[in-house]
A and B are shown apart, each in its own frame.
Chain A
Amino acid sequence: MRIFRASIVVTIMIAALVVAGARPAAAADSIDPDADFKAFRDYFTKLFPNVPLNDFVNGPYSMDAELRKQWEAIDDFPPYDFAVDRGKEMFATPFKNGKSYGDCFPDKGIGIRQNYPYFDDKTGEVITLELALNRCREANGEEPYSYVTDEMASLTAYMAFTSRGKPFDIKIPNDPRALAAYQNGEEYFYARRGQLNFSCASCHVQNPGNHIRTEVLAPALGIVAAMPIYRSEWNGMGTMSRRLVTCNSQVRGVPLKPQDELYRDVEYYLSYMSNGLPISGPGARP
């Protein structure tokens, strides 16, 4: 009888916590995105005390003054302009069924990029902007685009452009599936992979501002804010998917399929870590 009453009390207490919206109290080894967020930000701002917080979204240019001068020199005619124009045109062109991209998104798809990725509690999955765009196409009878080529880059370039300056606002709902996706993304980021045994953190946490051969490494803080990017090395645009695939192959790991669950999870993690930082995309990189 006493045990029964005690368990009712405990149940009420837990219910109260849930109602209050608090995440489960952090125990050793449990998931605490807020603590991670603070530690992540402090790490980079301490490492680079002279870099203004919002400047981290400029990646290698926030790390290297010489590189920055080169970047500023091309800013009058940014190399991603053609992608933005094309994306705007695509957005304005209806599908065969008369609907258009704006019908799939809040606010007609304008000025919303900073909310992606988000966790969809109906389907229990992380939805990235690229995934949402292809689902929009398929829902309206159109073939999906490749995640690594120009059409997807143009669409996301335009959407990023309409969100320029808006701070990342990524939400992790109090849902064990969302927390699991967040942690899977964190694990993906820190786990070593490929024959070369690098993790994403090897370069972007342990060596921001350093250079491999002549390439200056970007800090992980704000690293997704400039996507999609025009990369001079690629002579063209690169989507988030393309960047992840390339990073994998550069460490001699067989890339996952674009928009694989793990890729979406790591984008979710990195975007959450960049909350509050302004969208700087589309970007230009060496």
Chain B
Amino acid sequence: MRRYLFVAVVCLLTSAAQAASTEADYKTALAAAEAAEHDAGALKNQWIPTEQALAAAKKAAAAGDFDTAVAQAKEAEALAKASIAQAKEQQTAWKAGVIR
């Protein structure tokens, strides 16, 4: 019985540790997202959903919900990177559509 209790407690603790993001996790994720969005800005190709995800991340963090904050920051980073990929591809791809 005691052994089962011990295993149950360990399981609970490890799963809890996996689920909860910390403020440090959030700051790391936000920094990565903001760096990517900055690069997208240099290419003059930022997306509105990226800005919305960044805002949502900050709002969640301010409310102490770091799980949401990290998820939103990671989404923002993914969106920013997609916008960078678009800009880089379009630097040559735009010519294919020109009326000749």
User: Any chain B CB within 8 A of the CB of A191?
Assistant: yes
User: Any chain A CB within 8 A of the CB of B28?
Assistant: no
Interface flags for B57-87 (1: CB within 8 Å of A; 0: not) read 0000000000000000000000100110011
Please report the number of residue pairs spanning A and B whose Cβ atoms sit closer than 8 angstroms: 55
Q: Is B46's CB under 8 angstroms from A187's CB?
A: no
**B93 contact set on A, CB distance < 8 A:** 191-192
User: Any chain A CB within 8 A of the CB of B12?
Assistant: no
A42: nearest residue on chain B (CB-CB)?
B99
Contact of B49 among A201, A205, A252 (CB under 8 A): A252
Total count of chain A residues near the partner, CB < 8 A: 24
Q: Is B94's CB under 8 angstroms from A253's CB?
A: no
Closest CB in chain A relative to B86 CB, distance in Å: 6
Please report whether the interface of chain B is mostly helix, strand, loop or mixed according to DSSP.
helix
User: Any chain B CB within 8 A of the CB of A9?
Assistant: no
Closest CB in chain A relative to B74 CB, distance in Å: 17
**A256 contact set on B, CB distance < 8 A:** 44
**B86 contact set on A, CB distance < 8 A:** 192-193, 197
Interface flags for A252-270 (1: CB within 8 Å of B; 0: not) read 1110100010100000000
Interface residues of A (CB under 8 A from B): 36, 39-40, 43, 186-187, 190-195, 197, 199, 201, 205-206, 249, 252-254, 256, 260, 262
Interface residues of B (CB under 8 A from A): 44-51, 79, 82-83, 86-87, 90-91, 93-95, 97-100
- 5 more contacts with CB within 8 A, not counting A195-B48, A199-B97, are A39-B99, A192-B86, A249-B48, A252-B48, A254-B48
